[in-house]
Amino acid sequence: MKSLFPKLLDSLTLEKIDDCKFRAGNLYIGSPRIYGGQVLAQSVAAAHQTVELGRFELNSLHGYFLSPGNNDLDVIYEVEEIKDGRSFATRRVLAKQNDRVIFLGALSFHIQEKGLEHMAVMPNVAKPESLTSFSDIFAQFAEKFNIKARGFYSSESPIVFHPVEHYDPFNPGIRPARTHVWFKVNGNYEGDALMDQVLLAYVSDFSLLISSLLPHNVSFFNTPMIIASLDHAMWFHRKSNFNDWHLYAVESPNAGNARAFCQGKIFNREGKLVASVTQEGLIRQIS
């Protein structure tokens, strides 16, 4: 199967309608609604086009997923210039379909400055080359249960994922609310620092809520559930080469009231902390 990565890059290259309005298509990855990471990434791409590049770099985003997105409709991104200061620039982004807001985001850009520096230590886990990809793992389940692996769990996934911990989605068992997964692009990539941030935003919505299910012996493959991202925050700490492997270390310190809170850290292969993520999501069991 051919990789969907070229189509992903196409979906992340927005059509300019005017100086602050952009249009984007969707990449279908098997989910009934638009994958939240796509909306995050396209919001980053839209906001990038309204700041002085070379001077400002994205340092954080905060967003709310307000309504499910329709895979069959283009998404319109409207960017509002909130502030252009000496050190920081701030943008608000609305993602719309048929004039209905599906996502609201605030993004902060910062000039390059020297300062004090420290970072978290990357967990000591198995290297990606020694691990089996999600697509190979799910190929076994697909054959056993006569189902078709789609999206991130198929060989055509635009991103390759190598989970550190063994995961049986049909018999998950009870485990700590913690996951580690290596990832990299599935194809040739000659991007730049801007697209690296867009792609990091794209991947950042993956794997978070899965960690919250692990202590409960449930998954969306064996239990009727509604699982959806509610809000999402992300901080970009350092530049990194997105062609190489990155480790996404995720934990869920709390779940209750049908919501789960999750935290993630993204490290490059050299162990540098590239980005940090927090998210709250809906994990509603259907009785």
Q: Which residue has the tokens 């902390």?
A: 273
Which of 11, 229, 240, 252 is an active site residue? 229
- CB–CB of 152/206 below 8 Å? yes
| Cβ count near 66 (within 10 Å) | 15
Q: Are 99 and 78 in contact (CB under 8 A)?
A: no
Q: Does the active-site annotation cover 205?
A: yes
112 is catalytic: no
Task: Please say if 49 is a catalytic residue.
Answer: no
SS3 for the chain is CCCCHHHHHHHCCCEEEECCEEEECCCCCCCCCCCHHHHHHHHHHHHHCCCCECCEEEEEEEEEECCCCCCCCCEEEEEEEEEECCCEEEEEEEEEECCEEEEEEEEEEEECCCCCCCCCCCCCCCCHHHCCCHHHHHHHHHHHHCCCCCHHHCCCCCEEEEECCCCCCCCCCCCCCEEEEEEEECCCCCCCHHHHHHHHHHHHCCCHHHHHHHHHCCCCCCCCEEEEEEEEEEEECCCCCCCCCEEEEEEEEEEECCEEEEEEEEEECCCCEEEEEEEEEEEEECC
Cα 263 from Cα 272, distance rounded (Å): 17
Selected catalytic residue, list 42, 196, 204, 205: 205
Euclidean distance between CA atoms 90 and 115, whole angstroms: 21
List residues with catalytic annotation. 205, 229, 279
